[in-house]
Chains A and B, each alone.
Chain A
Amino acid sequence: GENVEQHPSTLSVQEGDSAVIKCTYSDSASNYFPWYKQELGKRPQLIIDIRSNVGEKKDQRIAVTLNKTAKHFSLHITETQPEDSAVYFCAARGSSNTGKLIFGQGTTLQVKP
């Protein structure tokens, strides 16, 4: 069935370092991959997304890369700041003509000052 695996489950970095979170999806028909940031007690917020016709997308300190052949996609955060501390979720859209997102289990990122 449809599945998204996310690693690591927890990640601790020093302020200023980079953080990388990786996801693998199972449905080769998936064509859209968003990343959400969820702070404690708050709603998930879309921080970046990528469609399958693009290999990489960048927005300031955040970038996402996609390897369709390997069915991998990754979130890269550079120059991390304490306010980046949150739970990050990757997701993959199911087969086309659907709004269903399959979410990874989440990565708790802690940025130490």
Chain B
Amino acid sequence: KAGVTQTPRYLIKTRGQQVTLSCSPISGHRSVSWYQQTPGQGLQFLFEYFSETQRNKGNFPGRFSGRQFSNSRSEMNVSTLELGDSALYLCASSLEQGFGYTFGSGTRLTVV
């Protein structure tokens, strides 16, 4: 079965711009989480969605937002990009909320 699909794989943006990243979970999975991975901070939780509702939000500024659609696909948006937003953004989905998350390959965002 298909895994978690994230698009695009790579993205280069300029400071001040905004970006939207997409995540298609494994078929049947309704729980989707997003993480930011950087060499210095490791894996940090951004948001969690279940049945189109944001269940949790990590300690990130309001420039980071997300949503989940009725087909469980999810998007995250970062506005007014800063150099420090350069990171690998990972999406993970699971069948049972809170357990057994499968990660996608991520979107590598570079802000210049």
Do A and B truly interact?
A: yes
Q: Are B42 and A106 within 8 A (Cβ)?
A: yes
Q: Are A99 and B42 within 8 A (Cβ)?
A: no
Chain B 39-83 against A: per-residue CB contact (8 Å), 1 yes, 0 no?
000111100101000011010000000000000000000000000
Q: How large is the interface on B (under 10, 10 to 19, 20 to 34, 35 or more residues)?
A: 20 to 34
Asked if A99 meets B103 with Cβ closer than 8 Å, knowing A44-B43, A89-B43, the reply is no
Asked if A99 meets B105 with Cβ closer than 8 Å, knowing A43-B90, A89-B43, the reply is no
Q: Inside 8 A of A45's CB, which chain B residues have their CB?
A: 103
Within 8 A of A (CB), among B16-36: 31, 33, 35
- The 9 A-B residue pairs whose C-beta atoms are closest, nearest first, are A103-B43, A99-B48, A43-B103, A99-B98, A43-B105, A44-B103, A100-B56, A100-B45, A105-B42
Q: Are B101 and A99 within 8 A (Cβ)?
A: yes
Q: Inside 8 A of B50's CB, which chain A residues have their CB?
A: 99
A34 CA to B43 CA in the complex, in Å?
14
Q: How far is the CB of B28 from chain A (nearest CB, A)?
A: 16
A44 CA to B98 CA in the complex, in Å?
16
Q: Inside 8 A of A43's CB, which chain B residues have their CB?
A: 90, 103-106
Q: Is the interface of B mostly helix, strand, loop or mixed?
A: strand
Q: Are A99 and B100 within 8 A (Cβ)?
A: no
Seen from chain B, the residues whose Cβ lies within 8 Å of a Cβ on chain A are 31, 33, 35, 42-45, 48, 50, 55-56, 58, 90, 94, 97-106
Asked if A49 meets B98 with Cβ closer than 8 Å, knowing A44-B90, A99-B50, the reply is no
A sample of 10 more A-B contacts (CB under 8 A), given A101-B35, A101-B101, is A43-B105, A97-B98, A98-B48, A99-B48, A99-B98, A99-B101, A100-B45, A100-B48, A105-B42, A106-B42
The chain A residue with its CB closest to the CB of B108 is A41
Instruction: Tally A residues with Cβ within 8 Å of B.
Output: 25
Q: Are A100 and B43 within 8 A (Cβ)?
A: no
The chain B residue with its CB closest to the CB of A94 is B56
A92 CA to B80 CA in the complex, in Å?
32
